[in-house]
Structure 1
Amino acid sequence: MASFVDRFGLFTAEQELRAREVAERIAADQLELVRFAFADQHGVLRGKTLVASEAISALRSGVNMTSTLLAKDTAHKTVFPVFSAGGGFDFAGMQGGADFTMVADPATFRVLPWARKTGWLLCDTYMADGTPSPLGTRQILQRAVREMQELGYDFIAGLEVEFHVFRSEEKNLALAHSGQPGLPPGVSLLSHGYQYLTEQRYDGLDDTMELLRSTLVALGLPLRSLEVEMGPSQLELTFGPTAGVMPADLMMLLRSAVKQVCARNGLHATFMCRPRIPNVCSSGWHLHQSLQARGSGSNAFMPGQEGQALSPLGMHYLGGLLEHGAASTLLASPTINGYRRFRAHSLAPDRAAWGRDNRGAMLRVLGGPGDKGSRIENRVGEPTANPYLYLASQLFSGMDGMRRQLDPGASADVPYETPAERLPRSLPDAMARLKADAYLCERLGERFVNYYCHIKQAEIDRFNLEVSEWEHREYFDLF
């Protein structure tokens, strides 16, 4: 019987070639295990680990996974009635925890430098009939990338990611600490913070930085810089630009690699936006983006005249980002915690405005005539975001601006005072803004938006049931 890939014609000619190369590499390097992983709705990697002989076969047969993985919130709670008729979904194949199939993209193959004789593959998700899963976030971005290519441009993005690394002190694995979720680990600081970019502070964290550098370079990630950020135990990494889906794939691999290699070395890394520690600084994910003309390879955002911030095309793209800035915030900042970051005069935006080289604006425009690095930096994202949804929201928004030739208006030189649409201040507000944007809902898919908001609502409902420490301190003794 033909394999899953052959039966439904899922590989391109290039993927066929790369799949053979991966099989040869597994044998040549004498790998013993291969991890097959897909990015779930939250941008968390889930998957299975196969022994090498089975992994080579699975390149074409795929790997079956339970569909309940697509029905979980961030506590790994299943929030759809999967054993009812239809499983709580409006399409077939989700009832009763039925299987879907992961198919590896052979272009993503890596050998993991921290795990013994272990390879790694990123996968796309398919239903039993070979159709792409309507809930597959990587495929949403692939569709957006193809649409931009049809307009004659390649999407280019570079990553600038802040996160925290602590020293692990207590794993909190006592029986009483179990739960869904369980008690997080006890930690201590690697640095006190606020000695921003001093060489002394960097040297004090050199062992940790070298651990990260060597791991990421061994994985082939285009690492450019490592920095000690402003807050206690806060770091930042920046990466060179890559094209198409690759920036999102790299973000997935980055987060997974950092967390795993830190855990193996007595550290706890978190991409949570604002951990609950004294004097904390929020972490952001700044997304640098531009378009490259497919024929010439030139930067389509680079302006041709003095005084221009971007080319006319770039300005229209910028206009689209502003038009859908508030609605796309849910996809850039998808957690309850992330909305604690949006504060005036905080190096994080509070409204949909753009500015020339202004870090207070949501969209910071960099470059100028003759600058091949001319680009837009979106500063609204938090580092927990599902990268496929974040990048797809940018592409769809930018294309709307290009097609409608939207005008972004004048640069906001005082971004916290400029009259502009305010960004959502909470996760429920962000959900409402996305649902109200008919264009983004249509481009992302109404079915997907409803599904994603259902999961986010389940998280909000759980949050609202908890009595916070603030409430207890405020009212328990007073009343």
Structure 2
Amino acid sequence: MTAANFSPAISGIGRHGFVAEHGLHTADQQSAAVEVAEQIDRLGIRTVRMVVVDQHGTPRAKFLSPHAAIAGLSNGIDFSGAIYSMDSANFLFPPAFAPGGGLGIEEFTGFPDVVIVPDPTTFRVLPWADSTAWILCDAYFSNGRPVPLDPRHILRTQVKRLAEQNLTYVTGLEVEFYITRRVTPAIGLHDTTQPPAPLAVEPFQFGYQYLSEVRLDSVNETVTALRDGLIGIGLPPRSIEDEWGPGQLEISFSPMVGLDSADAMLLFRSAVKQICARQGLHATFMCKPPLPNFFASGWHLHASLADASGANVFRSEENVLSETGLGYLAGQLAHAPAMAAFANPTVNGYSRLAPYSFAPDRISWAVENRGSLVRVQGGPGDPGTHLENRIGEPAANPYLFLAADLAAGRDGITRGLTPPPSVAGDPYTADAVALPATLLDAVAELDKDPLYRDEFGPEFLDSYQMMKRAEYARFEAARGGAEDPDTAAAEWQLREYFEFY
């Protein structure tokens, strides 16, 4: 019996017919599921990684046999709901066995499994893993309701609401990260009351010469492995550059639409980590590891909107932006304090939002100015005109960052908001409102802004704020009880984020 003609009814995976029962696949996905089953058989795939994204933007997975994977396409796959109760150190932040799982969500009572449903349109074969494929999944409760904490569901909802206006979200990724060299194996036991100690690493020896051909060529073996691996999974890099820090790279991609950019960011980060690990290296998307001579890394989100014909509706023949583009920009600025909680979800990320850091420290916009929060690229008559949101750190959950940006822009357009005058000079001396200085400040701003509660739902917002407040409380406890608070703060951030992200 081949994998392709295996009957899902006898698989023991999920619940027979779950996907069809609740109408969870579109016609395109139904067709893709048939093709995926055939590909698994034809390509000799022996392992299929079923991946679901958690609220941190981290891929969680089960590795399935080909028979089980094909059954999962129609039955769904049981998956522990515990991932939605875990903070960035994998500690449980709510009282898990309280009613509603401590999250106020009835279906989480009793710490149950959820059902993850594969999206067959995301099928990839991983060139660095033998006979292995990868599929991204969406999370549902056993009653067929989408898990409200599933970030992919949140972004999909935003994209659908935009589509009701006959518009498409077009985004491009520009992401910085670090590669370090492992000097000890990542094995052994640790105190389970504390996050594991960070990997022992040393800088990957290139950097300090921005955009240097010679420096980048000195690590050509790794750069080539990343290039080939990303091309192999359908994510060809548009550019690869070296940045200032030791082992710091930037990779950018051509524009994508809708969910595609967020799916790409999730797969990109995971792929980079896996490819580097196979070379004895460790890649981290932590914003600013507290290591010697390390600069902060950012994630610049480039965005525009297209109409039904594919035309860029931010383009204006006479002005730098159309009225629609100005409305979107005004929404980004109006909701930037609350958006920071999604764009910079770690304690560490706020170290980047400082004067003269090439990252924003206040809420402003400008044309072609890298110190502003939103940088307009393009101009009158330019079909490539778009907005570059420079607030984000590379550890941000891609679904939540994109959803937050899109919800803010949509709100600006809907309400006809007008942005303040653009900054013509130094954006770090502009008379403008400061961005939140800490994660706790950003969560407080999120609590004050009704937009995201309305757009993302109260169940998600309450859970997210609870999780981030608990994370910050652990940081404060580690710092407050130390003889040297600054050293303790740096050590906590390294333990918390360096390997996790």
Q: Structures share a fold, TM > 0.5?
A: yes
Contact 1:39–1:45 (8 Å) recurs in 2: yes
- Distance in 1 (CA, whole Å) between partners of 2:381 and 2:63 is 48
**Partner in structure 2 of residue 366 of structure 1:** 377
Alignment check: 8 A CA contact 2:227 2:236 kept: no
Looking at structure 1, the residues matched to 487 and 276 of structure 2 have their Cα atoms a distance apart, in angstroms, of 40
Q: Aligned to 2:110, what secondary structure does the other structure show?
A: helix
Instruction: After TM superposition, list the pairs within 5 Å mapping 1:77-226 onto structure 2.
Output: 77-175=91-189, 180-191=194-205, 193-226=207-240
- What SS class does the counterpart of residue 409 from structure 2 fall into? helix
TM-score normalised to structure 1 length: 0.96
Q: Does 1:316 align with 2:330?
A: no
Aligned equivalents of 1:162, 1:471: Cα separation in 2: 34
Give, in whole Å, the separation in 1 of the partners of 2:190 and 2:342.
35
Residue deviations 1:13-61, cap 9 Å, x none? 1110011111111011010010001110000011211101111111111
What is aligned with 1:339?
350
- Structure 1 residues 311-364: Cα deviation after superposition (integer angstroms, max 9, x where no partner): 111011111101101111100000000011111011010011111000000100
Task: Find the counterpart in structure 1 of residue 491 from structure 2.
Answer: none
Gaps of 5+ in 1: none
Deviations 1:372-411 (A, max 9, x none): 2110000100000000000001111001110111111221
- Pair 1:33–1:471, CA change in 2 (3 A): same
**Structure 1 residue 180, shift from structure 2 partner:** 4.2
The one of 429, 432, 443 aligned to 1:420: 432
Counterpart residue type for residue 105 of structure 1: D
Cα RMSD (Å) of the superposition? 1.7
Alpha-carbon contact 1:33-1:117 (below 8 Å) kept: yes
Q: Find 1:46's aligned residue among 44, 54, 60.
A: 60
* Aligned residue pair count: 473
Runs of 4+ in structure 1 over 6 Å off: 473-476
What's the offset of the Cα at 1:207? 1.2
1:302 lines up with 2:315 in the alignment: yes
Contact 2:138 2:152 in 1 (8 A): yes
1:277 partner SS: coil
Query: Does structure 2 retain, via aligned residues, the 8 Å contact 1:226–1:236?
Result: yes
Once the two structures are TM-superposed, the CA of residue 152 in structure 1 deviates from its matched residue by 1.4
- The corresponding residue for 2:421 is 410
Q: Which residue in the other structure is 2:397 paired with? A: 386
Q: Distance in 1 between matches of 2:245 and 2:98?
A: 48
Taking the TM superposition and a 5 Å limit, the aligned residue runs for 1:450-465 are 450-465=462-477
Residue identity matched to 1:47: A
Deviation of 1:172 (Å):
5.0
Give 1:85 deviation, angstroms: 2.9
1:184 to partner: Cα distance: 1.3
Give the fraction of aligned pairs with identical amino acids, expressed as a percent. Answer: 44
Alpha-carbon separation, structure 1, partners of 2:190 and 2:162: 52
Segments of 5+ residues of structure 2 without an aligned counterpart are 1-8, 10-15, 489-501
Task: Look up the match of 1:431.
Answer: 443
Q: Distance in 2 between matches of 1:91 and 1:178?
A: 28
TM-score (ref. length: structure 2): 0.92
Q: Which amino acid aligns with 1:303?
A: S
Cα shift readout 1:408-448 (whole Å, capped 9, x = no counterpart): 12211221111122100000000000110012221121221
Deviation of 1:475 after TM superposition, in Å, equals 11
Partner of residue 13, structure 2 = none
For the pair 1:17 / 2:28, whether they are aligned, the reply is: no
d(CA) in 1 for partners of 2:487 and 2:257? 53
**Residues 256 and 280 (structure 1), Cα distance of their counterparts in 2 relative to 1, 3 Å cut:** same
Q: What is the Cα deviation at residue 469 of structure 1?
A: 10
Aligned-partner Cα distance in 2 for 1:268–1:214: 18
| Cα distance per residue 1:57-89 (max 9 Å; x no partner) | 111111111111110000111111122333212
* Cα deviation, residue 177, structure 1: 7.1
Tell me whether 254-263 or 179-188 shows the greater mean CA deviation: 179-188
Distance 1:320 1:82 in 2: 37
Work out the CA distance in 1 between the residues paired with 2:93 and 2:139.
20
Counterpart residue type for residue 343 of structure 1: A
Query: In 1, are the aligned partners of 2:377 and 2:385 still within 8 Å (CA)?
Result: yes
Aligned to 1:325: 336
Aligned partner of 2:477: which letter? L
Superposed CA deviations along residues 433-473 of structure 1, whole A, max 9, x for unmatched, are 01100122211212211100101111111111214798428
AA aligned opposite 2:143: D
Q: Which moved more, 1:29-38 or 1:296-305?
A: 296-305
1:337/1:473 CA distance change after superposition, 3 Å: closer
